[in-house]
Structure 1
Amino acid sequence: MQLTGAEIIVECLKEQGVDTVFGYPGGTILNVYDALYKHQDEIFHVLTSHEQGAAHAADGYARATGKVGVCLATSGPGATNLVTGIATAYMDSIPMVAITANVTLPMLGKDSFQEVDIAGVTMPITKHGYIVKDVSILADTLRKAFHIAASGRPGPVLVDVTKDVTAALCEYTPKKPEPPEHGSRFTPEEVEAALRLLTTSKKPYIYVGGGAVLSGAAQQVREFAAKLDSPVCDSLMGKGAFDGHSPLYTGMIGMHGTKASNLGVSECDLLIALGARFSDRVVGNAKKFASNARILHIDIDAAEINKNMRADAALVGDLKEILDTLNESLPQCDHKEWTAHIRDLMEKYPLKYDESQLSCPYVIEELDRITGGDAIITTDVGQHQMWAAQYYHYTRPRTFISSGGLGTMGYGLGACIGAKMGRPDKICVNIAGDGCFRMNMNELATASRYNIPIIQIVINNHVLGMVRQWQTLFYDHRYSQTILADKVDFCKVAEGLGCMAIRVTKKEEVAPAINKAIASGSPVLIECIIPEDDKVFPMVSPGAAISEVFDADDLPPTPNS
């Protein structure tokens, strides 16, 4: 049948099972929006307040559901406003297709109104990018985009379509989507080498990364840890792949990891990295990282092997498939003395905070208690992000959604909207600092427009908390441009954008506020006022070994402390 390019785009979205898209219209993409109007009963379009919010919402939708997220934008500034969101998805390996429209083919390359080479701009931050100048290849290009986004190590793909292509007629034939390909390359010999390391280790440690979430390998990870009888730590992206209540779980590793995880990994004789990339925020000083250990690295991306840390053995492929293979052959191991030693470290160095006053850890613990650890938590970036990672017990994958690799301030609210659209059955809460919240708080208007019942918690210390923490510890208390003591009233802003707002200043107000927000069935902002100098501990200084992890008790007293 003959369809316009715009109609072909909509039909291809339907082919791929897309039921929700996020975007913002403009001149060059009007034909696509006209086609969406005719199919609004099949594809629900969420009009965000800004294109960056659309990209973050598509990202959050993808992380919460495991599906490919989709965002739309017009040419020029519409397309460039997606860039931060695309880069965020790229750094964290999130499957997303960004569809943009450009000026007509005769106007390309002439600095036309709202013309930009968005495929060129996003080349370093996408798995692949297309510019479609011929309607006859449009459908196959979109199909390839979805296939690439979901295959192997996932990531964002950009499809830029000229406006005349969206208007041109072409024959369209429906096709079933191709399943993603994961291209496992491991050999029986490599499996044997891995098993030798595993069965001869006396002090193993499992380090779980985001790949364990993306591959759907949570059950396999848990079986593997039980058979190996090994303590388990995770990266920020790996949260929920392993049960946060398990006696084998020791918490996060790295710059703000627990002392037990950081010291334990520094003592182990075998470190097994599952879908992790040895980020600098995990490793610290690479020369001193896990210096007593051999390393077994399992990852779907061959480029990650030996990139940041030298591996003694490696398996390249889908983590779920590899762990199924290892679990079949791995005998039940017994490391009682080792796991008991790690438990002693956990008892000796528990996470702790000042319980005498309202603090973010207290808010997180109350949220964990009230939701039974079963909410989807999104975050922005900074102190609140680390506290959310430390004090909420994640028991299932795809319940912690945060910008790990890029560290995007302003990410969480859009992501929370996307997560709630993808998982309407879940309580969805975004935790943001006041600095982050300012960046994209306009998306509260999106939540109120569609009555999306998300909870936005703003941890307000009237400063850029994490930067101030570094200024306190490493810059002799020179607080250059980190104090936000102005006249902004977040509760009034939220109410002005159509949301309920609650201000919390005491510990006893936290639980009633959370319960009221959950019961409301509408978008709610909870502003929590905390002291400006609360700090995230434990911490590893930049460039130090993770074994040099410290907390407040390790710091000398200062006049400003």
Structure 2
Amino acid sequence: MTLTSSTTALGGSSQQEQKRITGADALMDALRRNGVDIIFGYPGGAILPIYDAVHKAEQQGWLKHILVRHEQGGAHAADGYARATGRVGVCFGTSGPGATNLVTGIATAQMDSVPMVVITGQVPRPCIGTDAFQETDIFGITLPIVKHSWVVRDPGDLASVVAQAFFIAASGRPGPVLIDIPKDVGQEEFDYQPVEPGSVVPAGFHRFPAPELSSIEAALDLIDDAQRPLLYVGGGVISAGAHESLKGFAERHQIPVTTTLMGKGAFDERHPLALGMLGMHGTAYANFAVTECDLLIAVGARFDDRVTGKLDTFAPRARVIHFEIDPAEVAKNRRPDVAVLGDVGVSLVKLLDLSKQKPVELRTSAWLTRIESWKDLYPLMTPPEEGPIYPQEVLLAIRDLAPEAYITTDVGQHQMWAAQYLRNGPRQWISSAGLGTMGFGMPAAIGVQIALPDEQVVCIAGDSSILMNIQELGTLIEYNIPAKIVIVNNQWQGMVRQWQQSFYEDRYSATDMLPGMPDFVALAKAFRIGGVLITERKDLRSSLKQALATPGPMLIDVHVRRDENCYPMVPPGKSNAQMVGLPNHPELSGVSL
């Protein structure tokens, strides 16, 4: 399919003279015009013409290609790059298995609204539909998990398609797009006419309207009348860069703030109004607050099931305001009393400006006092200094030793402990939230470190998750990427084991990783990467400090107690107020929350 006929000119094409070049060279020029200087990828037969053009671009000095060791790693690296910078991440893969290896990374980005352009090679045009070697319909396979996609059958369409792809990926609610390019399209010479970024959009694409003033006024009226308001903040605030407006409004009206896993970093968790994360493994005081509030102000959040618990018991006493850019999310899970549609950043600025037009009559002092009492009664666990290392100790040590680090995580118990204990600034928390992708953390750390070479980057991994993309140690050493990988090693698939203990009568089916556990330090050294093993509490902070300060990549394997569970926890089918792991629950090991 071609989309030249379905595009609308906004600013016109470049007035440069046409030049006869190959489709692959046209692709690279289009990427350069859209600001691309980093690509993560892995070559193969169908994408070889494009990689020949990559070679030329690197020789010219404007592009750096990062060779990952698996296409999934490339997708996650592009994802991490995008989350840390707000720019569109780019990854390449060849046809067939190369393209299908990207699917998990594409779905991860789609679930978490991450802007990515994914470019795949395809078999030559005459071979499409013949079951040719390494042919798959990646266009059809990825339709449910992209914002938009193309199969480019005419090299003359490449410039327009690339311009549209970047526009769509970054506009509105961000997300991944896919461009599939047959091999012979990359090889074919044609008269190239550049297309400038933003000058074309697909037919039918609607720009998001500005938030309606009447909706913002209605929202402010509800806020002014509330006595127990709560700001429930998701990843949309980070995508919109709206954290300063959020802080200003919360402080002006003295409204407590809880964030989702995607919203971490949108509000300073050291702030007196901060309640940390809510939901299945959220803080007790955040979950009590959402249960008791009389007004829930959802900002860039989608009422995910891991947040709401049993949906009909979520904020049961509250009226709801929903600030959201994606109309499909409004009333999908919870019908709001007031919906403010549009860019969350614009909406919050207008809300704060409107608020400043009249004095604020504060009504939340009793509410804040009650929340403080919950914080005193149910703080996060302080691990006792006895027995094997508690996993929570590892996160507390990292919080103290690397307070300004960009954090990536894998998925599981260690992810939840990291979310509970670490405090991050905007775009400094990078974790697979919606899809829960094991193996995300290390390649995402590669993307973050490549994007931000002068920043400290720490990946919090689990011993099971890390093995899913362990080959990316090769990428770390090839480019001397100084990210630090910390494995919180309990020798289990920890979260699955916790569920088996809690809900399956201790039947631990296929979750014990100890019999096949590698020597991670020896494995790191096999890749010529420094490695440290920590098994004793007395060595934890000193060894971590030294490893974090060591130049170049490091793998730090910390052995923690095997049977520690992640609490608080909202069991499935329960309300957020029905947490286990509070003081009167024997399931909690160590010191009570």
Q: Would the TM-score normalized by the shorter structure come out above 0.5?
A: yes
Q: For residue 536 of structure 2, what is the amino acid of its counterpart? A: K
SS at match of 1:245: coil
Match of 1:28 among 42, 46, 56: 46
User: What is the match of residue 521 of structure 1?
Assistant: 551
Q: 1:151 to 1:557 in 2, by over 3 A?
A: closer
Q: For residue 179 of structure 2, what is the amino acid of its counterpart? A: V
Residue 366 (structure 1) shift: 1.1
The farther-off stretch of 333-342 and 314-323 is 333-342
TM, length-normalised to structure 1: 0.97
Match of 1:193 among 212, 218, 240: 218
Q: For residue 460 of structure 1, what is the amino acid of its counterpart? A: N
User: What is the match of residue 414 of structure 1?
Assistant: 443
SS at match of 1:532: coil
Q: Distance in 1 between matches of 2:195 and 2:132?
A: 36
Q: Distance in 2 between matches of 1:556 and 1:454?
A: 39
The farther-off stretch of 501-510 and 66-75 is 501-510
TM, length-normalised to structure 2: 0.92
The farther-off stretch of 323-332 and 259-268 is 323-332
Does residue 245 in structure 1 map to residue 270 in structure 2?
A: yes
User: What is the match of residue 359 of structure 1?
Assistant: 390
1:454-488 C-alpha deviation (Å, 9 max, x unpaired): 10011111111001111111111111111111251
User: What is the match of residue 376 of structure 2?
Assistant: 347
The farther-off stretch of 402-411 and 338-347 is 338-347
Quick check: 1:60–1:417 contact (8 Å CA) kept in 2? Answer: yes
1:84-483 residue pairs with structure 2 within 5 A?
84-178=104-198, 183-330=208-355, 331-334=359-362, 335-356=364-385, 357-371=388-402, 373-394=403-424, 396-483=425-512
Q: Distance in 2 between matches of 1:285 and 1:329?
A: 35
1:89-137 C-alpha deviation (Å, 9 max, x unpaired): 0000000000001000000000000000001000000001110011111
Quick check: 1:184–1:300 contact (8 Å CA) kept in 2? Answer: no
Q: Distance in 2 between matches of 1:461 and 1:154?
A: 36
Residue 509 (structure 1) shift: 1.7
SS at match of 1:458: strand
1:177-235 C-alpha deviation (Å, 9 max, x unpaired): 22998613532221221111111111100011000111111111111111221111000
Residue 353 (structure 1) shift: 4.3
Mind listing any 5+ residue stretches in structure 1 that lack a counterpart?
none
Quick check: 2:582–2:588 contact (8 Å CA) kept in 1? Answer: no
Q: For residue 220 of structure 1, what is the amino acid of its counterpart? A: S
Residue 355 (structure 1) shift: 2.3
Q: For residue 71 of structure 2, what is the amino acid of its counterpart? A: E
Q: For residue 239 of structure 1, what is the amino acid of its counterpart? A: K
Quick check: 1:182–1:318 contact (8 Å CA) kept in 2? Answer: no
Q: For residue 19 of structure 1, what is the amino acid of its counterpart? A: D
1:473-512 residue pairs with structure 2 within 5 A?
473-486=502-515, 487-512=517-542
SS at match of 2:514: coil
Q: Distance in 2 between matches of 1:134 and 1:240?
A: 44
What is the number of residues matched between the two proteins?
559
Quick check: 2:394–2:488 contact (8 Å CA) kept in 1? Answer: no
Quick check: 1:208–1:232 contact (8 Å CA) kept in 2? Answer: yes
SS at match of 2:50: helix
Quick check: 1:182–1:317 contact (8 Å CA) kept in 2? Answer: no
Residue 552 (structure 1) shift: 5.2
Q: For residue 572 of structure 2, what is the amino acid of its counterpart? A: P
Does residue 38 in structure 1 map to residue 56 in structure 2?
A: yes
Q: 1:247 to 1:286 in 2, by over 3 A?
A: same
1:127-153 C-alpha deviation (Å, 9 max, x unpaired): 011100111111101110111000000
Quick check: 2:234–2:262 contact (8 Å CA) kept in 1? Answer: yes
Q: Distance in 2 between matches of 1:497 and 1:299?
A: 45
Q: Distance in 1 between matches of 2:407 and 2:476?
A: 16
Quick check: 1:227–1:333 contact (8 Å CA) kept in 2? Answer: no
SS at match of 1:378: strand
1:355-412 C-alpha deviation (Å, 9 max, x unpaired): 22412211111111112x2100000000000000011112x21000000000000111
Residue 510 (structure 1) shift: 2.2
Q: Distance in 2 between matches of 1:319 and 1:424?
A: 30
Q: Distance in 2 between matches of 1:378 and 1:544?
A: 30
Q: Distance in 2 between matches of 1:346 and 1:14?
A: 51
Write out the 4+ residue segments of structure 1 that deviate beyond 3 Å after TM superposition.
173-176, 179-182, 556-559
Quick check: 1:215–1:319 contact (8 Å CA) kept in 2? Answer: yes
Q: Distance in 2 between matches of 1:545 and 1:28?
A: 51
Residue 557 (structure 1) shift: 6.8
| RMSD (Å), alpha carbons | 1.7
Q: Distance in 1 between matches of 2:238 and 2:302?
A: 14
How much identity, in percent, do the aligned residues show?
Answer: 46
Does residue 543 in structure 1 map to residue 578 in structure 2?
A: no
Q: Distance in 1 between matches of 2:75 and 2:156?
A: 27
Q: Distance in 2 between matches of 1:248 and 1:191?
A: 23
Q: Distance in 1 between matches of 2:151 and 2:588?
A: 58
The farther-off stretch of 156-165 and 335-344 is 335-344
Q: Distance in 2 between matches of 1:134 and 1:176?
A: 19
1:22-73 C-alpha deviation (Å, 9 max, x unpaired): 0000011111111111111211000000000000000000000100000000
SS at match of 1:473: helix
1:231-254 C-alpha deviation (Å, 9 max, x unpaired): 110000000010011000011100
Q: 1:353 to 1:478 in 2, by over 3 A?
A: farther
1:303-323 C-alpha deviation (Å, 9 max, x unpaired): 000001111111011111000
Q: Distance in 2 between matches of 1:492 and 1:316?
A: 53
SS at match of 1:3: strand
Q: Distance in 1 between matches of 2:241 and 2:579?
A: 32
Quick check: 2:211–2:343 contact (8 Å CA) kept in 1? Answer: no
